[in-house]
Structure 1
Amino acid sequence: MKLNKLNALIVDDSSIVLSTIHNMLIHIGFSERMISIAKSPRIAMTITSETTFDVIICDYNFGNTINGKQLFEELKQSNRLKDDGIFILVTGENSALSIRPILELRPDNYLLKPFNRETLKQRITSSLKKKLVLQKIYKAERENDYKAGLEFCEELLAFNPEYFATIQQFRGSFLSKLKLYEEAKNVYEKALDESSFDWAQAGLANSLANLGQINEAQQMIESLIDSAPTSTLYRDQAAQVNLISNKVPAAIAHFKLASELTAGNSERELAIANLCISVNDTKAALAHYQNYVQINRDTFRDNLYMKLNHIRFLLYCASGESNNKATLDQVNYLISKIPTDARAGLQTDLALIAAHIAMESKQYQ
């Protein structure tokens, strides 16, 4: 692997850190002319629109702007990450609260500050090798081509036993997305014969629940939570098992605990908001949707769809308030922020919202 042929991007708001990692990369074999730097995620977005990078090393925390996690999501959404390229997150904090969001994101690797150049080289080379070998699987996942992904898993497993765990995790995920739960169950059981992988245990519980074996799935996930009560993976899976058995309040409780353990997961906040609406807990629904809005401010999710849904959550909440003027004022403020050129395509939505506002204001005519 010739590191001097690879493009690298370093993203950090500290000039000292940028300089240190830049020098480390040169020492381990990167060409100076192939290294770019960005002092913010915004600058990184501009640079990646013009150049595709083999290696991106990004800090996690950037203060009040979007963080490294959000930059990773932005780059994935806009297809600016190579299937055989790697994204490494860097953090200066080693607490569980700091590490969990990174692990949930599943970057190609992560580094805890301070680190030396040997550690950096080892993480880069091992991640690049893995991504190069499994790039067909990652491409299938990105394109949601789960059938092709399964074929690649079968093809690669025989010749790459060192990546058994990763390939089996992909296989179980692809089978579950194709609703082939019996086959997914077999994959997870086979993985557990090798080791007690947490993802395999959670996946097995999910497969059992989807196969109608609710009691067995419930017992299994409760046992897993007892063994690791701070695992967000197990909490999320417990929520899914409860949803399959139509126990929505229990599902909400598990999702909320996971959210407390690992703040900043926008998909989870959105799930909680929608589930709270389904049980008429409109205040909690609004609070979690506003968390979702805050997390995703200035990201690809910050669009008209998000604003319209914010309005709808406010209107749900207004329906349960005796004095709803302040809430309706927020609705009208958000409507005023919808660009004029976008209104033509939203006539039906805006008419329904206007009707809802009139109804809540008791202007029935």
Structure 2
Amino acid sequence: MNAVLPPARFPTWRDQHYLLIDDTQGMRQLLRESLRGLGARYVDQASSGGEAIAMLAQTRYDVVLCDYHLGKGKNGQQVLEEAKFRELILPTTVWMMVSAEKTTEVVMGTAELHPDAYLLKPITEGVLLSRLHKVWNKKQVFRPIDHAYQQRDFLKAATLCDHQIEHNREHALNLLRMKADLLLKCGRQEEAKEVYERVLATKNFSWAVAGIAKIRLQNGEPEAARHMLTEVINGNRFFMEAYDHLAQAYQTMGQFEEAAAVLERAANLSPNSVVRQRSLGELCLKLGKMATAEKAFRKCLALGEHSVMKNADAYLGLARVCGIKNETEEAMALLTQVQREFSHEHIRLRSKITEGMVHHESGDYLRARKSGDELDSMLRLTPSRPPAAICLDMARLLLAVGVKEASVDLLTELARNNHDNTQLLAEIKQVFEKAKMAAEGNNIISQSCDEAADMMNRGVLLWKTGRLQEAVNWMRTTVKALPNNQRVLFNCAQIIINCIEKHGYDAALAEEARTALLHVEQLNPGQPRFASMMATLNEMAQIHRAMQNA
């Protein structure tokens, strides 16, 4: 085969690093020779997904050519998914899928991960190199941004986008999209919104509308987000990201049936998303739609076997479904499997909760009570509390089997630590109502929220009246009393930051604020305020170091 474009057109390619991922030696050899024709000197090869991930973790590749089917283990979609999730590739990395696979579900699933191209085999050398040349030139505008991105200095990377736009007007749209993503990463929502609006002033791009909708959803405007996302889907039914955000908007508004319908529609269009299938299963389980829940959980388990997105939720969800269907043997087998495959701190606790629910839902009340008693003992031995969703499940089981005191204590603590979370408070209320404790539950929720708000507001009042050191001391006390209250943790960090701004940099105080923020990130990852405040702390540390070295 002869290349359409001669090697002289690619003067910079000889020093780039290439990775060819294909389980067929002949295809790897063919691609290798095509690249050699361009003068490429550094061409590595991987014959499996696992080998490819190991090589990506060791070397920053400039160009990756990847097949979809890679034999046993990870497929090409899962390799790209993990490379992006673990940030093994940079903004300038060219990732091209080169595959004979053309079924809708595979192409759609891979397209959701945004490879730079999806080329169908058989492919000529000329077509391959022509497309590679086109993508390569397009992505070089991100080259100055790579270093800042590697350093996770997303604000600097966003600023560099502006510089590149000035000198590369033909790539302004791609740079603006990158800039908006970077601004969201560092918590600059309003600035990101301005970028999206700037784009929409020229043309109605789906990704820009969805970007504003996502910001509105994060800002507590689910109805506005719902309207915008519905318009996006009506205009482009294959814009899959919009379905996930739309389902989230419906859930925020308490419209769970509508959320499930949106996710089911999305799963039918693009069924190879582990996260979406898991979300669909969990929502349908909550709604009592067992057939759909079971189908989604089983699909999630199959897809997740070699995926970086694999987690315990689908195993536990499917075990619940099996319990409701009185298929106890399979449910217990799934619980054994989940404890064997996952080892994080809450897995035993979650397995025990699910075990009790399975016994209770299948009518074995003696075994359910035994699981509840064992869970009560585990709680007494565990000083820290698991995430809110696990606490709710725990309380549901404990109340169902008659362990009232422990469940009430758990729900009281949950309300105190989430006094401003209306959606979670509504769920706590439902747990009490199902246990025929509505009046008692309302009193507990009201009292718990008032106590938490009073403690937090006292610290804020001290802060606003200029008594910063007293405010810091009071917030420390409040954090000890409400260790999982995200609002309290954020306010504690903010007051500490203001104290540093006024009285000068203090490494111990900065570390205290950082610890509070990292705990918030552990409780509820991805909040814009977290990114913004961490960026502020990092800037303060950099300025302090610069002054010391001056």
| TM bucket, shorter chain | 0.7 to 0.9
Cα RMSD of the aligned pairs, angstroms, is 3.5
Q: SS of the residue aligned with 1:9?
A: strand
**Distance verdict in 2 for CA 1:346–1:103, change over 3 Å:** closer
TM-score by length of 1: 0.80
User: Is 1:325–2:328 an aligned residue pair?
Assistant: yes
Write the letter of the residue equivalent to 1:6. Answer: Q
- 1:252 matched to which residue of 2? 260
TM-score by length of 2: 0.56
The whole-number CA distance in structure 1 between the counterparts of 2:259 and 2:286 is: 12
- 1:69 matched to which residue of 2? 77
Write the letter of the residue equivalent to 2:17. Answer: N
- Which region of structure 1 is more displaced relative to structure 2, 287-296 or 40-49? 40-49
Question: Cα offset for 1:138?
Answer: 5.9
Write the letter of the residue equivalent to 1:92. Answer: A
Give the alignment partner of residue 32 of structure 2, picking from 22, 27, 39: 22
- 1:10 matched to which residue of 2? 20
Is the CA contact 2:324–2:358 (under 8 Å) kept in the aligned structure 1?
no
- Which region of structure 1 is more displaced relative to structure 2, 139-148 or 222-231? 139-148
- 1:313 matched to which residue of 2? 317
User: Is 1:104–2:107 an aligned residue pair?
Assistant: no
**Distance verdict in 2 for CA 1:271–1:137, change over 3 Å:** farther
Q: Kindly, what percent of the aligned residue pairs are identical?
A: 22
- 2:67 matched to which residue of 1? 59
Q: SS of the residue aligned with 1:246?
A: coil
Question: Cα offset for 1:264?
Answer: 0.8
- Size of the aligned set, in residue pairs, is 356
Q: SS of the residue aligned with 1:81?
A: coil
Question: Cα offset for 1:160?
Answer: 2.5
Q: Rg: which structure is higher?
A: 2
The whole-number CA distance in structure 1 between the counterparts of 2:180 and 2:345 is: 44
The whole-number CA distance in structure 1 between the counterparts of 2:59 and 2:195 is: 39
- 1:222 matched to which residue of 2? 230
Question: Cα offset for 1:80?
Answer: 3.7
Structure 1: runs of 5+ lacking an equivalent? none
- 2:159 matched to which residue of 1? 151
The whole-number CA distance in structure 2 between the counterparts of 1:44 and 1:216 is: 43
Within-5 A mapping of 1:284-363: 284-302=292-310, 306-307=311-312, 309-318=313-322, 320-321=324-325, 323-334=326-337, 337-338=340-341, 348-349=349-350, 351-352=352-353, 355-356=356-357, 359=360, 361-362=364-365, 363=367
Write the letter of the residue equivalent to 1:199. Answer: W
Structure 2: runs of 5+ lacking an equivalent? 1-10, 371-550
Q: SS of the residue aligned with 1:300?
A: coil
Higher helix share: 2
* CA deviation vs aligned residue, 1:189-211 (integer Å, no higher than 9, x gap): 22123233221232244445556
The whole-number CA distance in structure 2 between the counterparts of 1:99 and 1:353 is: 36
The whole-number CA distance in structure 2 between the counterparts of 1:192 and 1:129 is: 25
Q: Which has the higher contact order (CA 8 A, sep 6+)?
A: 1
**Distance verdict in 2 for CA 1:291–1:139, change over 3 Å:** farther
The whole-number CA distance in structure 1 between the counterparts of 2:212 and 2:57 is: 40
**Distance verdict in 2 for CA 1:241–1:184, change over 3 Å:** farther
